[in-house]
Structure 1
């Protein structure tokens, strides 16, 4: 193929890559529409830095408030930042998760106006009696409030339908109801602390009723219990002012019961932290050994929640006292050690930087392929090495940080596998490049890095869960996570590298970009053969180790579980390729086409079994089947292309041979 044709081909490839990247970015980011929130004032940087490392319990572990805020906003809003304006035509203000959550807690008058809820289908709004506006797919709590009751009514009805029989709209209504409920629980966390309780017996006008602190009422819990017991014993009505007080406490405590678990117990044997609502009810029902500490905790919350009108500096002082009280107990329990590390981890946005380096490497790789073995080509080659290795560093560092934070090996859930496989693919590909020095592996590495990091980001947005939370009980074994799980995951990485090399071979030879270089073809074939052997070893050892673990956990070595069958398929696929190669059934074309099919087998074992919704190993993401089928389609397309290219090549070779023979006869 001549040089202009190569430029046209690579230009088209680059265009397709940019289009795919743009579409992925559009799917993962919110719309550009900006909501006006009248009078909004951003939080001071010092305030957010103070709140950043407030420890809370969520998902079975202790984490900084910034992590909790990030995944709360991601789940409800669908992104980790939104833009608003304090006035029409004013300057845009970017709201990050921690600021968003602080508004929910302490400035609900602003929060309820923010477009915090993602609506995928406007028909949902019509179903709950809310008329869709011009905004694309983000609505505020104020927008949804008129249809709130209808939303929960529909969600309860649809919840009785088996999950597999719900249609898309029913699933979205259930998800929206869950998000609204979560938001209301967050709103209620400091609700009692902000407003206090109306005391009818203290008099006051209707506009300015007398109020009492919740903490003060908690201090009289014994007296209130005495009144209730006396009324019950004498069978007389509870005094009206006591009845009103109890109703307010119950409603306020229920509103603050599930939003934020921020109070560690002074008893180290109590693993569960408590919410403000639980603190209040435990004291009022006299079911706690920490009545004095509970009253102090609620008093600190009240002081914090009511300090904001006096200025943010005063608020910070009160919030600091509240935080110090919590941190002191968390440190005494040994549960604060990783909080600062985790807060710093999320500030850095490591994988975004890795994506940037891999994108740079992709563009440089195209330049490397176009300039060949020239001085410019050498410069491009070293540039690809530099950007790809920088991207690898920005993948490995956060993996190590996650291990320290989680106190476990790097792979424990589906998200972990993506970033770990990304690092493994880059390392394996770099080793192949060092051994072959033909630049085919080097050029593919940044492209693979881009795809895997984009997959990780799309998965995180779609799943909207904290993947550093504790694992399910059966997986809580650092020994087996280090041996079986890492071995199997490396097998996935090996299989994907094998498939990648096969794709490179088929495209280079099928499009005649290799210039008929037989040495290059042999190098690719040897690399694929070596990767098949490595993948077989890792997958086989990992499968056997998994059987030993299963026997230890479940009392049986093998149970034909979908995940076990997927691992076995990878082993059998590699065995089939090796036997067919040794038997002469697969030659160069054949081994590379089989290597491409390996991508489908690995993808099924890695992701596909989670979509089946069955089996003891179905721990992970159960959505996104369309992407699986897209990859299967790509694999099928490449295999068909390879078969056609091979047929055309054989036909041309036959024609040339016939033409040569005819010339010899004529001669």
Structure 2
């Protein structure tokens, strides 16, 4: 499946990217300082990126003076000298209706803490909409959800500004104890040791504020070493901190997106020009992107200590991985070009969404909620369900190719449409098998976790609806209710049920026991996608019926005199 040339290219480029990345500005000894946040111990640099993404939706910001500030410098500046940051635009207000209601600039999205904190209209809005007894996350409209999110960002900024969020001092005797700030080090260490740590911290702080970054990094390294010496059983080892820092800075998902995007363009542009050469080059980029995909998953699994499928971000990345896996396997068997042509654009769009929408698809690694902490069931049930989505997505891509060429009556590169219809049918069979198996296994897990196999929970109900939709499409093909064209149409329309089960239950309905996946945002994009899909199917149906009508009623031949 993965040829040697693709692997060789991957290793060469990785060897080029990795050193240049590690020598960049973001790599510094501050990554060796661990901080306890969100139930995990993580490098300070990773913490900084997550914090800035949470506040502003970006990993760097521009100050009022026009200076671009990266996430690490932003957090260090707030830690060492917070004065003045309360006037900088760092807090996102994304909903335009909320911006209008509270009377702030409609042309901007980022505002200062001071500006929002002193906004009486915002205070009144929060009191009126969010403090009412019946207000719940699932019953809030998008404007109210955004107000709740902004309130959370204000609270987060307050914790940063006061310094109470910087839990860098561990308890040397108890790994389960909550870490404390440097000012509270005397809770865990004798007076002499805590004073010694405070002296090192003040030296690091003074060097940073004076602009002596090399000295500040030396002090950061010494600070982390002292903590490690004082609490060797609790403090994370340097290798694990550097590993997570490298994963975050390298961002393998970005390179995955680039490779899949290039492969998609190559497959599209080379159909009528140098198809064999384009096929080989596209193969290489698809394999290269897949290897980055695998590398990213390995890193995330090692960091989190679990399969990466606990939230929407991880499931989108996993489904795009599954699509490419199925496509590469089938392409190796059939050498048809269509599998990678169908899979690469879908995978690229998925990776683009998770890379560009961090507030919708949260990229942070969080501990599992209790119901998900059984890794066996998490692996078996969730991976099976989401792999079925991947098979359905591959069928979706193949169906787009079929419908477009059928509406145009294209020869499709020498392949008969019946061959492509067979590929669609096989992909649907795999998806139905995996979805049925995953639904049954989910019932077993539900009995194990909640004491019942089925309770018509929204997630369960929509999984069943999706299964029945695809079963109807397959059954209709066997019963000759529709032909190959109808199979392709059904594959496209049934994917809308996948979208509802995958996204709609958690982000639109927001109800049920599967609370670990709830979220908000992205509804406009999803509705646009649904509209475009229905419009595409309607267009192809119209063109197909007109062509059929022309074939059944050909124009009369001219009378020869």
Q: Into which bin does the TM-score normalised by the smaller protein fall?
A: 0.7 to 0.9
2:110 aligned with 1:160: no
Q: Find 2:166's aligned residue among 260, 270, 286.
A: 260
* Aligned pairs, number: 531
Corresponding residue of 1:179:
153
2:431 aligned with 1:525: no
2:304 aligned with 1:406: yes
1:240-319 map, 5 Å: 256=164, 259-268=165-174, 270-276=176-182, 279=185, 297-298=197-198, 300-306=200-206, 308=208, 312=212, 314-319=215-220
Q: Find 1:66's aligned residue among 5, 20, 45.
A: 45
Q: Find 1:342's aligned residue among 228, 235, 244.
A: 244
Corresponding residue of 1:629:
527
Residue 542 of structure 1 and its aligned partner are, at CA, apart by 1.0
Corresponding residue of 2:108:
136
SS at match of 2:270: helix
Residue 307 and residue 583 in structure 1: after superposition, are their counterparts in 2 closer, same or farther (change >3 A)?
A: closer
Residue 505 of structure 1 and its aligned partner are, at CA, apart by 0.6
Residue 521 of structure 1 and its aligned partner are, at CA, apart by 0.5
User: Is the 8 Å Cα contact of residues 362 and 446 (structure 1) preserved in structure 2?
Assistant: yes
Choose 581-590 or 547-556, whichever is displaced more. Answer: 581-590
Q: Find 1:443's aligned residue among 337, 341, 360.
A: 341
Residue 310 and residue 563 in structure 1: after superposition, are their counterparts in 2 closer, same or farther (change >3 A)?
A: closer
2:289 aligned with 1:391: yes
**Which of structures 1 and 2 has the larger relative contact order (alpha carbons within 8 angstroms, sep 6+)?**
2
Residue 330 of structure 1 and its aligned partner are, at CA, apart by 5.5
Residue 319 and residue 47 in structure 1: after superposition, are their counterparts in 2 closer, same or farther (change >3 A)?
A: farther
Structure 2 distance, partners of 1:330, 1:512, is 71
Corresponding residue of 1:96:
70
User: Is the 8 Å Cα contact of residues 29 and 218 (structure 2) preserved in structure 1?
Assistant: no
Residue 123 of structure 1 and its aligned partner are, at CA, apart by 8.3
Provide the alpha-carbon RMSD of the alignment.
3.2
User: Is the 8 Å Cα contact of residues 55 and 326 (structure 1) preserved in structure 2?
Assistant: no
SS at match of 1:424: helix
SS at match of 1:116: strand
SS at match of 2:35: strand
Cα shift readout 1:96-138 (whole Å, capped 9, x = no counterpart): 2111111111233464454322344688679778x75x97333
2:420 aligned with 1:563: no
Structure 1 distance, partners of 2:99, 2:541, is 51
Structure 2 distance, partners of 1:85, 1:627, is 31
SS at match of 1:139: strand
Residue 651 and residue 290 in structure 1: after superposition, are their counterparts in 2 closer, same or farther (change >3 A)?
A: farther
Residue 654 and residue 617 in structure 1: after superposition, are their counterparts in 2 closer, same or farther (change >3 A)?
A: same
Residue 294 of structure 1 and its aligned partner are, at CA, apart by 5.0
| TM-score normalised to structure 1 length | 0.72
Corresponding residue of 2:543:
645
Cα shift readout 1:387-429 (whole Å, capped 9, x = no counterpart): 1221212222111110011111232221111111111111212
| TM-score normalised to structure 2 length | 0.85
Corresponding residue of 1:192:
none
SS at match of 2:515: coil
Q: Find 2:496's aligned residue among 580, 583, 600.
A: 600
Structure 1 distance, partners of 2:47, 2:445, is 33
Corresponding residue of 2:57:
78
Residue 434 of structure 1 and its aligned partner are, at CA, apart by 3.1
Corresponding residue of 2:385:
488
SS at match of 1:63: strand
Residue 628 of structure 1 and its aligned partner are, at CA, apart by 2.6
Residue 586 of structure 1 and its aligned partner are, at CA, apart by 2.2
Structure 2's unaligned 5+ residue stretches are 1-22
Structure 2 distance, partners of 1:504, 1:61, is 45
Residue 278 of structure 1 and its aligned partner are, at CA, apart by 5.4
1:113-128 map, 5 Å: 114-120=88-94
Structure 2 distance, partners of 1:440, 1:537, is 22
Structure 2 distance, partners of 1:421, 1:482, is 14
Structure 1 distance, partners of 2:100, 2:525, is 30
2:272 aligned with 1:370: yes
Cα shift readout 1:268-300 (whole Å, capped 9, x = no counterpart): 2534222346557xx5xxxx7866655555554
Structure 1 distance, partners of 2:541, 2:102, is 54
SS at match of 2:475: helix
